[in-house]
Structure 1
Amino acid sequence: MTEPRDLEPVTGAHGAEALSSVAVAEWLLFAAPDTSQALQDWRLTGTTVLPCGDSFSAVRIPAAVVQAAANRREPAAIAERLVDALLGGPVVVSTDGTSYFALTPSAGPVRQLPAGIEYLGQSALLMVPRPDLTDPRLHGHASYWAVPMLEPGNLCQLDAALQLAAVGRHRHLTKGTEQ
Structure 2
Amino acid sequence: MSVLPHVEHEPGVLVPQAADRHSATVLWLLSTLPAPSRDRARLEWQEHKVAMLPLGTLFSAARIPGQLVAALTGCTETAELDAFMDQALGGGPVICDPRHFRYYALVPADMPKAWQRAADAWRAMGVELLGLGSYLGVPQVDAVGGARACASYWSVPMGSAATLCAPLAVARLIVAGRRSTDPGEGV
**TM-score bracket for this pair, using the shorter chain length:** 0.7 to 0.9
Deviations 1:83-107, CA, capped at 9 Å, x for gaps: 1111100000125142100000011
RMSD (Å) for aligned C-alpha atoms:
2.1
Name the residue aligned to 1:162: 171
Name the residue aligned to 2:88: 85
Deviations 1:1-23, CA, capped at 9 Å, x for gaps: xx79xxxxxxxxxxx93332222
Name the residue aligned to 1:133: 143
Name the residue aligned to 1:38: 41
For residue 150 of structure 1, the aligned residue among 137, 154, 159 is: 159
Q: Indicate conservation of the 8 Å contact 1:46/1:130, yes or no.
A: yes
Deviations 1:54-82, CA, capped at 9 Å, x for gaps: 01000000010011223331111112111
Name the residue aligned to 2:20: 19
**Larger C-alpha radius of gyration, 1 or 2?**
2
**1:123 maps onto 2:133 in alignment:** yes
| Higher share in strand | 2
User: Structure 2, unaligned stretches of length 5 or more?
Assistant: 3-16
For residue 66 of structure 1, the aligned residue among 69, 77, 80 is: 69
Which deviates more, 16-25 or 108-117? 16-25
For residue 118 of structure 2, the aligned residue among 102, 112, 133 is: 112
Name the residue aligned to 1:56: 59
Alpha-carbon distance in structure 1 between the residues aligned to 2:143 and 2:117: 32
Q: Percent identity?
A: 34
Runs (4 or more) in structure 1 with deviation over 6 Å come to none
Partner SS state of residue 111, structure 1: helix
Alpha-carbon distance in structure 1 between the residues aligned to 2:75 and 2:21: 29
Partner SS state of residue 149, structure 1: coil
Equivalent pairs counted in the alignment come to 161
Partner SS state of residue 87, structure 1: coil
TM-score when scaled to structure 2? 0.79
